[in-house]
Structure 1
Amino acid sequence: MTHGTDRVIITGGGIGGLGAALMLARRGIPVTVLERAAEFKEVGAGLQLAPNITRMLDGVGVLADLLPHAVRPRRLVFANAATGEELSHLDLEDAATRYGGPYVVLHRSDLLDALLRAARAEPMVTLLTDHHVERVADHGDSVTVTCADGQEITGRILVGADGLRSVVREHVVDDEPVCSGYIAYRGVVPIETVERLTDTDDVVVWMGPGCHFVQYPVRGGKLYNQVAVFRSQEYLDGKEDWGSPAELDATYAELAAPVVAGLSSIQRENRWPMYDREPITSWTNGNVTLLGDAAHAMLQYLAQGAGQSLLDGAALANALAPLAEGRDSERWCAGDVKAALHRYEADRVAAAATVQSTGRLWGDIWHVDEPVHVLLRDEAFRRRDTYDYHLVDWLYGPVLDPGDHADAVGHGPRPVDTYLTRK
């Protein structure tokens, strides 16, 4: 089967793949999305979208569909998981005004469903499930993927959005995911079943020795998302089945009462070993490029994984937009494709690498366990002014001009970094 050589093929129908498909189609570029599963579905729990992401989603008309399912928390709180002391917080309502977009928390499936609805409404998007890509062949003027059932699909550009263990990445670089030695238990439960709650207007990060615990509401406040992450001694000891529920309970047993109480309702059926990738200087080889976790899998300490994949899609759409001008084959010549993918990389590779490396650093800060290191970390957090944004301006910005007052849902003054112009 072929879908035309002036088409972008995206492998992976997750948040990054569907977001990219939507944004490419709105720039006049035909897209085929190949999802290996039988349906488009997210596995996981809650996620956070900071202003740098919600600004972009507002620009493509998706944010309004998300807000009824989301929660706009009042504060991002940092607390000591051992003592229960609140150390500092970020005023998220003020941050929304500062950066021109709200900070929202929601269920991963609610974001995927919103992107799926928008993509299905685009006539230039073809969505195919049960298509497991196994091989990639770049012919110079086109690229063909071969699926597990032998079916071949050809397009002009291939975008690997197929996650941490990407098949497409193997066409670009020979490397392996990096195991952090940490494991995550996560899930959502009806909010009334949590034994003890922190303020449900907040996102709370409890920082502990070799561990942390995150809590926040989703699904309009009906569900409570909790994530427990810890450094596994079982992993360090070489156990094959590491990060067990017994190790989870032992790690958190002596922590502050709100953490222990919250842990009692966390789901133990599934656990996620935490991996990332080393940053690379190029995501592209010929007509093949990468997006999302396939390009820059990152640890979750900046809460930017899903959001960065959406920024990739916006940048890719902007970079490829000139190929759609005129709708003739000359616009898809080798030189134009190469230049477009170079623009995409120039926009995103270094920026995503910074988020990857900074995320690792924040994890180190959260998880310190030596008494002196804990003392210094906590004192640094205590001394931070509530309205000191210098640690997040680089990530959430640009900052609105002084005197501007955005309403943080896209109808007020907009920052200069508009990612996508609607058709």
Structure 2
Amino acid sequence: MRILVAGGGVSGLATAVALGARGHHVLVLEQRPVLTEGGAGIRLAPQDFRLLDRLGVGDAVRERSLTIDEFRTMDGTTGEPVGTTALPAGQGGGRSAHATAHRLDVYEPLLEACWELDAVQLCPNSRVVGHTEHGESVAAALADGRSVTGDALILTGGARSVVRHDPRWAGDAPRERHAVYHTVIPMELVADRWQDGAATCWVGAAWHVAHYPLPDSRYLSLSATRRDHTGVDLDGARVDLEHVLAAFPEIGYAARNVLTMGRDWRVRTVPARTADARRARGRVALLGEGAEPAHPLEASGLRNALEGAVALGASGDAAEGDAPRWLADYDTHRADPAPNVPERCGAGRR
């Protein structure tokens, strides 16, 4: 099949690798002129590495990541410790089981995997703004007036906006949103107690703050998530520290001090989970954040992007070239991530 993938972020490239490795002809339509990735750091758990292994890039990501050995949970209001979980080491050859990485450390191995697949074609400067189904095909309309035709269209990440206002894609319940603020701090500006190889999460009633060191230990990734966001949608907007602190008026003194270490902040809004939202209709499917919004305590959405790509590839194996059947199977069988206590804020001492 000829598959159009709208979005060249992590979820788009993971989808291209999963499908291109199975012999499908994949066109990745990316709106930016250069294929790259930014954003805050990410945490990687055993399940993430297993998914990356299935995509053939697990070892490449391990080489670029930083192993973390402990997960701490703090009460964000009182500042008191809640619990500590020792994170197990990887099995065999010192392979990381729990680690941190820059988002680029996952993106670049996926990009290289795409380059190595003759079936994958990367198309920058190609922003998808709409789509039309025509019997046995679907046409993606691009911002510059071009149209690209394929057997199926996969909308990844921010490309979900193409169907944002289409009521056929929404569940019955209104979608809540969360605001995720993130920054990266030079380690010389970080208090000594947060410079070890641990990940820490401060938990409040409707918010949490998480931080952990990044590879080479020169930077600390810091994020703060406000659940049930009521403001406008944001997509990487720059905000100052005062704006961040105003979003967390009830935060305790110790957690507030952690936030004040950050200066160059960005914020984006992400939808909350809804059980009845559609992932596929006809020859069009959603993947990544648009289809499986990240759990509030896993705001990067990496797990959902990888799981969706792997699931989409597996669903296509039995479709025999029938794109609507393939995407319907993906919609039906796409499972929610299984909980894994040490990977999330709120993990206590075991």
TM-score normalized with structure 2 length: 0.83
Deviation at 1:291, TM superposition (A): 0.7
Q: Which has more strand, going by share of residues?
A: 2
Indicate the residue corresponding to 1:255 in structure 2. 252
Report the Cα distance in structure 2 between the residues aligned to 1:42 and 1:249, rounded to whole angstroms.
Answer: 27
Q: Equivalent residue of 2:193, what SS? A: coil
- Structure ranking higher in helix proportion: 1
Contact 1:160 1:288 in 2 (8 A): yes
287 and 235 in structure 1: CA distance in 2 versus 1, 3 angstrom threshold = closer
- Secondary structure of the equivalent of 1:145? strand
State the AA in 2 paired with 1:229: T
Structure-2 residue corresponding to 1:12: 7
Instruction: Please state if 1:178 is matched with 2:175.
Output: yes
Matching residue of 1:58:
53
Q: Cα–Cα, structure 1 residues 194 and 110, in superposed 2: closer, same or farther, change >3 Å?
A: same
* 1:244 Cα deviation after fit: 6.9
The answer as to 2:213 corresponding to 1:228 is no
Cα deviation code 1:210-238 (max 9, x no counterpart): 432211011232221011234699959xx
2:336 to 339, 351, 358: 351
SS in structure 2 of the partner of residue 296 of structure 1: coil
Counterpart of 1:337 (choices 296, 319, 323) is 323
Are 2:97 and 1:111 aligned? no
Change (3 A) 1:339 1:271: closer
User: Could you tell me how far apart the structure 2 residues matched to 1:270 and 1:37 are?
Assistant: 19
Q: 1:80 to 1:199 in 2, by over 3 A?
A: farther
The Cα shift of 1:19 comes to: 0.2
Unmatched segments (≥5 aa) in structure 2: none
One-letter amino acid matched to 1:270: R
Give the secondary structure class of the aligned counterpart of 1:197: helix
Determine the C-alpha separation between the residues in 1 that align with 2:231 and 2:129: 31
Matched residue, 1:89? 84
**Alignment correspondent of 1:296:** 292
Shift of 1:18: 0.4
Q: Report the equivalent of 1:102.
A: 97
User: Deviation digits for residues 27-63 of structure 1, max 9, x if unmatched?
Assistant: 1111000011112232420112222221121233211
Residue of 259, 266, 281 corresponding to 2:262: 266
Equivalent positions of 1:314-325 (< 5 A) are 314-322=310-318
**Residues 66/172 of structure 1: CA separation in 2 closer, same or farther (3 Å cut):** farther
- Partners of 1:83 and 1:106 lie apart in 2 by 30
Q: Percent identity?
A: 26
> Aligned to 1:166, what secondary structure does the other structure show?
helix
- Aligned partners of 2:289 and 2:305 also within 8 Å: yes
Matched residue, 1:376: none
Amino acid at match of 1:45: A
Task: Note if 1:313 corresponds to 2:309.
Answer: yes
Residue in structure 2 matching 1:147, options 138, 142, 147 = 142
TM-score, structure 1 normalization: 0.70
Q: For residue 82 of structure 1, report the CA deviation from its aligned partner.
A: 3.3
C-alpha distance after superposition, 1:4-28 (max 9, x if no partner): xx30100011111100101111111
Match of 2:132 among 120, 131, 137: 137
Find the aligned partners of 2:294 and 2:308 in 1 and give their Cα distance: 14
Q: Which residue is 1:198 aligned to?
A: 194
What root-mean-square deviation, in Å, do the aligned CA atoms of Structure 1 and Structure 2 show? 3.3
**Residue matched to 1:415:** none
| Cα deviation, residue 151, structure 1 | 0.7
SS of residue in 1 equivalent to 2:161: coil
Structure 2 residue corresponding to 1:36, chosen from 31, 34, 40:
31
2:13, 2:229 → 1: CA distance? 38
Structure 1 residues 179 and 44: alpha-carbon distance in aligned structure 2, compared to 1, 3 A threshold:
farther
**Contact 1:140–1:287 (Cα < 8 Å) also in 2:** no
SS at match of 2:135: coil
Question: Structure 1 CA distance, aligned partners of 2:299 and 2:100?
Answer: 10
Is 1:156 aligned to 2:151, yes or no? yes
Report the Cα distance in structure 2 between the residues aligned to 1:232 and 1:294, rounded to whole angstroms. Answer: 17
- Which of residues 47, 50, 69 is equivalent to 2:64? 69
Please list the CA deviations of residues 137-187 of structure 1 after superposition, one character each: whole Å capped at 9, or x if unmatched: 11121111111111111111111114275214666834498344x533211
Distance 1:12 1:46 in 2: 20
Between the aligned partners of 1:166 and 1:86, the Cα distance in structure 2 is 40
Asked if the contact 1:69–1:219 (Cα under 8 Å) also holds between the matched residues in 2, the reply is yes
The residue aligned with 1:406 is none
SS at structure 2 position matched to 1:272 = strand
Segments of structure 1 that go 5 or more residues without pairing to the other structure are 1-5, 324-330, 367-380, 387-423
Mapped partners of 2:121, 2:270: distance in 1: 32
What is the distance in 2 between the residues matched to 1:73 and 1:184? Answer: 23
Distance in 2 between residues matched to 1:235 and 1:385, nearest whole Å: 36
